[in-house]
């Protein structure tokens, strides 16, 4: 009898988790991490280029747009966007550095 109750509890928990995750998979993908966006997700007007407004619509700022617009022509093409995402991924994989470019020491876990 207890195994039947546990199975129902597990199924209910899975259902609730699925419902809670629905906003993350909403159609506009606004606010999702840049690394999870594709060029097509950001190119909302489907002109083959990204504008500053399209970046802002996806919760990215002017600095991100300028970093992506490698040739400075005021628009981001698919190649520039791919290179921008690759640079961002490379930046996130490097450990933070402290003064003098030295790696920061590991921080103890809270409560220790």
Task: Give me the pLDDT at residue 4, please.
Answer: 76
SS3 state of residue 42: helix
pLDDT at 97: 52
Intervals of the chain under pLDDT 50: 28
pLDDT computed for residue 25 by the predictor? 53
Tell me, what's the pLDDT at 68? 93
Q: What is the pLDDT of residue 11?
A: 81
Judged by phi (left if over 0) then psi (alpha if -120 to 50, else beta), residue 26 lies in: beta
Predicted pLDDT of residue 50:
95
The one-character DSSP state at 71 is: T
pTM (predicted TM-score): 0.55
35 Cβ contact partners less than 8 Å away, ≥ 6 residues apart: 85, 88, 89, 92
82 exposure class (CB count in 10 Å sphere: 0-12, 13-18, 19+)? middle
Structure tokens belonging to residue 92 = 């996130």
Sketch out the chain's domains with CATH numbers: 29-94 (1.10.238.10)
pLDDT of the residue at 89: 82
């Amino acid at each position: 009898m207890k195994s039947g109750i546990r199975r129902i509890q597990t199924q209910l928990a899975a259902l609730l988790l699925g419902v809670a995750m629905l906003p993350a998979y909403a159609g506009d993908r606004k606010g999702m991490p840049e690394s999870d966006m594709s060029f097509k997700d950001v190119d909302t007007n489907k002109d083959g280029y990204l504008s500053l407004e399209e970046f802002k619509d996806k919760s990215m700022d002017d600095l991100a747009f300028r970093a992506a617009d490698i040739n400075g022509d005021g628009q981001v093409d698919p190649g520039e966007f791919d290179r921008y995402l690759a640079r961002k991924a490379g930046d996130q994989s490097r450990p933070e550095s402290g003064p003098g470019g030295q790696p920061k020491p590991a921080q103890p876990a809270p409560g220790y």
